[in-house]
Structure 1
Amino acid sequence: MTEDAGEVLDRHNALVDAVRASIPGLTEARLGRVGENQWAGVWRWESADDLKAARELAPTLAETKAAFALVREGTSAVDEIEVIEER
């Protein structure tokens, strides 16, 4: 693990807790390593509406800013995904 791994995990957990305290519907939040210095977060929502609310709220949270302060290069697949079916 890199020296930042513990900090990445701590900030991810703080962000998950802050979102869950503000918006219902987050059923699962996973953080994984893709490489030595690459991470992937996968969050599962009860509905597209819950996801939409979280996308609107997240940029306003201090925990979001803290978590992404560790990111050197980032992308969000959510910006590219249109929910077409919920099951």
Structure 2
Amino acid sequence: MTVVRTHRYTVETGKLAQLLEQRTALIQGIRSANPAFTTATLIRQEDGTYLDIWRWESADAMGRAAEAATNFPLVGATLALTTDHDAVDGEVLDER
């Protein structure tokens, strides 16, 4: 079943361009190692926070990728550009 991991965070002042650049490289690297990673959507909310929604074909694939992420240097470097980071996982039940 398709799952998502939703990250909510604030970007450090003046760091958005760097975050977007690093995020692009991070997504490319994770996707090349994990074909079950299907989509990443970044949303800037009215309150200035961001939702970064990553879609996976299965919870198992997402879990394996999360374990491997500790060995991917851009993960920590990209997270360092954010504050108030929170993540939550969920299943996709309906899309129209």
Fold-level similarity (TM above 0.5):
yes
Root-mean-square deviation (CA, aligned residues, Å) is 2.0
2:75 to 49, 52, 64: 64
Deviation at 1:56, TM superposition (A): 0.8
**TM-score (norm: length of structure 1):** 0.77
Deviating above 2 A after TM superposition, structure 1's stretches of 4 or more consecutive aligned residues are: none
2: CA distance, partners of 1:31 / 1:58? 19
Q: Which has the higher strand share?
A: 2
Aligned residue pairs: how many? 80
Q: Which has the higher helix share?
A: 1
Higher relative contact order (CA 8 A, sep 6+): 2
Alignment of 1:7-86 (within 5 A): 7-34=18-45, 35-36=47-48, 38-78=49-89, 81=90
Unaligned runs of 5+ in 1: none
Contact in 2 for aligned 1:18/1:63 (Cα 8 Å): no
Unaligned runs of 5+ in 2: 1-12
